[in-house]
Amino acid sequence: MLRPVLPSRPSSRPSSRPSSHRAMASGITLLAAGTACLALAPAAAQPQQSAPMQGPPSGPTAEAPSRAQSRAPSQGLSSTPATGAGYGSDDPDSGGDSTGGDNTGGDSTDAPYDADRIAFRPELPEETPADVAEQAANGAPVTSLTEALRLAYWTTPSLLAQRSTVKGADYRVTQARAGFGPKLNYSLATTIQRDSFDQRLGRPPLVFSGWTTTASAVLTQPLFTFGRNAAQERNSLAQFDFQKQVLRSAEQQALLDAITAYIGVLRDRASVTIAKDNLAALERQLNDNRARLAVREVTATDVQQIATRVALGQAQVYNAQRDAASSEANFLRMVGVPAGELVPPNPLQLPVRQLEEAYAYAETHSPIVLAAQAREKVSRASVAAAKADLMPRIDFQGSGNLGTQSAYDDSRRTRELRGQFIISGPIFESGLRRARVSEAMAANDADWRLLDGSLRESRAVLAASWNDWQAQQAGIASYRNAEASARKAYEGAILQQRAGLITTLDVLDLARELLVARSNSNTAIANAYIAKARVLAAAGALEQAWLMPDAARHDPDARHRRKGHRGEIPVVTHAFRALDAAAGAMGALDGIAAVGNTAARPVRDPAGARTAAPIVIVPADQLVPPAASPADRPPPSPSAPPRP
């Protein structure tokens, strides 16, 4: 989904610095294409081989990169008409040579503001591979897609933030499990007390004062909470699972952004080469026709037509350079280091071969579907907690107190040990707890319905990505044929023009068609690669484990396995967890147990079993039926005789 592009603010005077508007692409989108991506690199570049990006058959998982928008005209331009002048060379901020304009590339007068900038202290998590951390710190340019993906995977700020969020959710599991164990609290007090008692008239008051010290300790152990603690543990585990799926989505988005930026740089660098080739061809034709004008073989009008196309070609080179510079900036944003001499990427591999297989794969791997399932489990645990709150609970409480017999003296002590079993529960609350149960059940039903909706959304995105990839991939061959035909037509037209068989305008039109054909072919190759990556993302397979199975990757469950049981007391915590689970199951209502029911919900959507058919790619020579030859046409019917 594209964010809206806001119009520039009106200004009464020309700005000292140019501004531009860019459309930002977001969402889970993925990439793909075949060996045709070699055409993205300039012809002079020597391709290098990088490791193939593929994974095991059972392993888990953009729109075309948005080009920079053209500079919006200022809304504060004077309405006075100018004769023989435009926006270009008279603009002090234009890119042309000007002695009066600001030179922002030289010494800046904003140097004093450097002291007010944000402090810079590079630091990455400890688990970051050493070579990735070194490259990120040095800022060495990236040359392969594998390098770009690794840097994006380990250094993207939004991705690192989500990993910290997952770690915080893991601590909630530890907190929930601590509810099964005992709690021991103590208190120490030192008290100074002074009391004064009035006596009968004429006698001084009695005054007592002194220091005392006391100590106490309280031990509390839940015995039966009828599912309260178990529901809290289920809730925290479901939240942890939900955050892990959000992390998977963030990882796929970071990898998708890196691939999109990488392909965008290759595409726009190739566009610069195409624009320069077009300009060079036009300039050669202009020089040739000027020489022919001198011998009266062409007219001045012919030369002016070519000069017009040369000027337009120069502007097209500037626009292509602008797009390439914007892509370089976007690459730096997504990867964290500049782009070097990029080599064409290896083709992406899919874990499936047919769209129906992709549907089944996405049901068990798509982070959208799995996150919806985890969210439903969170609200399901809330239902169990609300129902458990209707039941009583049994706790053991032991206490010990060390006090004094006198409030003014520590010389005589008192010692007290007490143990008690406490049964507590609601009796009458005017339907408050029942209303909470109904509210939790309604929220769970909503999440269950949203689970059905996530399946529809996942299938729709997957079908659209699959069809886009198939169409883009099939169109590459047609664009290449169009490019080859346009090149031959242009080269032949030049010879025909010299022989006087066609006009200069005919040659210029063919040159423009060649430029369009080359540009469309270049864009189609990039779009096909990105469309295939979008298929990977929609299926949930655009992941580090699939793209680079041998590379190090972040494991969100590692800390959970190491420290998830910290704070538990051996035997004691497990025993009381089992008791609470059994009590919660006995106290469950409406067939929903307070614990143990963690299976995924079935799909209730009537359309859940329906899937869209894929696009049917017909060979190019069979898209339309062949036209009948004149010999096969039926003879025309005799016309009626004319009326007198």
% of the chain surpassing 90 pLDDT: 55
Residue type, 74: S
Residue type, 149: L
What is the structure's pLDDT at 641?
58
The answer to whether the beta carbons of residues 614 and 628 sit under 8 Å apart is: no
Q: Cβ contacts of residue 546 below 8 Å, gap of 6+?
A: 54, 55, 59, 60, 61, 351, 536
What is the structure's pLDDT at 547?
93
What is the structure's pLDDT at 498?
84
- 166 lies in some domain: yes
* Residue 479 reports pLDDT greater than 50: yes
- The H or E element containing residue 399 is strand 393-406
Backbone angles phi, psi at 521, to 5 degrees: -65, -40
What is the structure's pLDDT at 52?
40
Question: pLDDT tens, 50-64?
Answer: 444 444 443 434 344
Q: Cβ contacts of residue 268 below 8 Å, gap of 6+?
A: 67, 320, 323, 324, 326, 327
Question: pLDDT tens, 194-230?
Answer: 998 888 877 888 888 999 999 999 999 998 888 899 9
Instruction: Kindly tell me the sign of the dihedral angle through the C-alpha atoms of 329, 330, 336, 339.
Output: negative
- 117 lies in some domain: no
What is the structure's pLDDT at 112?
58
- 556 lies in some domain: yes
The answer to whether the beta carbons of residues 248 and 283 sit under 8 Å apart is: no
What is the structure's pLDDT at 636?
62
Confidence of residue 627 (pLDDT cuts 50, 70, 90): low
- 73 lies in some domain: no
Confidence of residue 500 (pLDDT cuts 50, 70, 90): confident
**Which residues form the domain of 592?**
141-178+227-392+437-608
On whether both 150 and 270 belong to a single domain, the answer is yes
The answer to whether the beta carbons of residues 593 and 384 sit under 8 Å apart is: yes
- Rounded mean pLDDT of the chain? 80
- 265 lies in some domain: yes
Question: Can you tell me the distance from the alpha carbon of 112 to that of 153, in angstroms, rounded to the nearest whole number?
Answer: 36
The answer to whether the beta carbons of residues 465 and 30 sit under 8 Å apart is: yes
What is the structure's pLDDT at 199?
84
What is the structure's pLDDT at 581?
72
Question: Can you tell me the distance from the alpha carbon of 146 to that of 640, in angstroms, rounded to the nearest whole number?
Answer: 76
What is the structure's pLDDT at 580?
76
What is the structure's pLDDT at 571?
75
Residue 94's nearest CA partner among 110, 113, 78, 71 is: 71
Burial of 329 (0-12, 13-18, 19+ CB in 10 A): middle
- Write out 541-579 in H/E/C secondary structure: CCCHHHHCCCCCCCCCHHHHHHHCCCCCCCCHHHHHHHH
What is the structure's pLDDT at 114?
63
What is the structure's pLDDT at 634?
64
Residue 170's nearest CA partner among 162, 181, 182 is: 162
Higher pLDDT, 524 or 615: 524
Question: Can you tell me the distance from the alpha carbon of 254 to that of 620, in angstroms, rounded to the nearest whole number?
Answer: 36
CATH no. for residue 519? 1.20.1600.10
Residue 82 tokens, joined: 């100018």
Question: pLDDT tens, 62-77?
Answer: 344 444 443 333 333 3
On whether both 287 and 407 belong to a single domain, the answer is no
What is the structure's pLDDT at 120?
78
**DSSP 3-state assignment of 633?**
coil
* Residue 572 reports pLDDT greater than 80: no
Residue 424's nearest CA partner among 389, 398, 451 is: 389
The answer to whether the beta carbons of residues 41 and 118 sit under 8 Å apart is: no
Q: Please work out, in degrees rounded to the nearest 5, the angle formed at the alpha carbon of residue 151 by the alpha carbons of 148 and 155.
A: 145
Q: Phi-psi bin for 410: left (phi > 0), alpha (psi -120 to 50), beta?
A: alpha
On whether both 170 and 261 belong to a single domain, the answer is yes
Residue type, 639: S
On whether both 211 and 306 belong to a single domain, the answer is no
Question: Can you tell me the distance from the alpha carbon of 598 to that of 334, in angstroms, rounded to the nearest whole number?
Answer: 38
Confidence of residue 584 (pLDDT cuts 50, 70, 90): low
- Strongest mean pLDDT among 106-115, 225-234, 523-532: 523-532
On whether both 304 and 413 belong to a single domain, the answer is no
Question: Can you tell me the distance from the alpha carbon of 517 to that of 257, in angstroms, rounded to the nearest whole number?
Answer: 27
- 403 lies in some domain: yes
Alpha carbon 583 to chain centroid distance? 43
Q: What is the mean pLDDT of residues 171-182?
A: 89
What is the structure's pLDDT at 569?
74
Question: Which of 230-244, 511-525, 581-595 is the least confident region?
Answer: 581-595
What is the structure's pLDDT at 639?
58
Contacts for 420-428: CB closer than 8 Å, 24+ residues apart:
420/396, 421/223, 421/394, 421/395, 421/396, 421/397, 422/394, 422/395, 422/396, 422/397, 423/392, 423/393, 423/394, 424/392, 424/393, 424/395, 425/391, 425/392, 425/393, 426/389, 426/390
**DSSP 3-state assignment of 109?**
coil
Question: Can you tell me the distance from the alpha carbon of 15 to that of 354, in angstroms, rounded to the nearest whole number?
Answer: 55
Confidence of residue 445 (pLDDT cuts 50, 70, 90): very high
Rounded alpha-carbon distances, angstroms, from residue 146 to 132, 375, 496: 11, 34, 49
* Residue 240 reports pLDDT greater than 70: yes
Q: Helices H, strands E: what count in the chain?
A: 12, 5
Max Cα separation, the chain?
156
What is the structure's pLDDT at 630?
62
Total count of domains within the chain:
2
Question: Which of 234-248, 249-263, 383-397, 588-602 is the least confident region?
Answer: 588-602
Confidence of residue 503 (pLDDT cuts 50, 70, 90): confident
Burial of 250 (0-12, 13-18, 19+ CB in 10 A): buried
Q: What is the mean pLDDT of residues 410-436?
A: 92
Count of C-beta atoms within a 10 Å radius of residue 178: 17
The answer to whether the beta carbons of residues 594 and 446 sit under 8 Å apart is: no
Confidence of residue 558 (pLDDT cuts 50, 70, 90): confident
Q: What is the mean pLDDT of residues 168-176?
A: 91
3-state helix, strand, coil in the chain (%, to 5): 50, 10, 35
Residue type, 6: L
Rounded alpha-carbon distances, angstroms, from residue 147 to 85, 125, 206, 245, 536: 49, 18, 87, 25, 19
* Residue 562 reports pLDDT greater than 90: no
* Residue 16 reports pLDDT greater than 50: no
Q: What is the mean pLDDT of residues 569-592?
A: 65
Question: Can you tell me the distance from the alpha carbon of 325 to that of 530, in angstroms, rounded to the nearest whole number?
Answer: 20
On whether both 537 and 594 belong to a single domain, the answer is yes
What is the structure's pLDDT at 464?
95
Count of C-beta atoms within a 10 Å radius of residue 25: 18
CATH no. for residue 219? 2.20.200.10
- 430 lies in some domain: no
Higher pLDDT, 594 or 357: 357
What is the structure's pLDDT at 50?
41
What is the structure's pLDDT at 586?
55
Q: What is the mean pLDDT of residues 475-502?
A: 91
Q: Cβ contacts of residue 440 below 8 Å, gap of 6+?
A: 379, 382, 383, 385, 386
What is the structure's pLDDT at 203?
85
What is the structure's pLDDT at 43?
38
Residue listed under structure tokens 């346009």: 486
Tell me the CB-side half-sphere exposure of residue 213, using CA atoms within 13 A.
2
Residue 360 tokens, joined: 């089944």
What is the structure's pLDDT at 38?
35
* Residue 33 reports pLDDT greater than 50: no
Residue 266's nearest CA partner among 347, 343, 319 is: 343
Q: Cβ contacts of residue 298 below 8 Å, gap of 6+?
A: 289, 292, 504
Tell me the CB-side half-sphere exposure of residue 323, using CA atoms within 13 A.
23
% of the chain surpassing 70 pLDDT: 75
On whether both 453 and 584 belong to a single domain, the answer is yes
Question: Which of 267-271, 446-450, 535-539, 612-616 is the least confident region?
Answer: 612-616
On whether both 401 and 255 belong to a single domain, the answer is no
The answer to whether the beta carbons of residues 359 and 459 sit under 8 Å apart is: yes
Confidence of residue 444 (pLDDT cuts 50, 70, 90): very high
What is the structure's pLDDT at 30?
32
- 63 lies in some domain: no
* Residue 48 reports pLDDT greater than 90: no
On whether both 302 and 216 belong to a single domain, the answer is no
On whether both 250 and 337 belong to a single domain, the answer is yes
On whether both 381 and 401 belong to a single domain, the answer is no
Give the β-pairing of 183-197 and 31-32.
Answer: unpaired
Higher pLDDT, 161 or 23: 161
Count of C-beta atoms within a 10 Å radius of residue 526: 26
On whether both 398 and 486 belong to a single domain, the answer is no
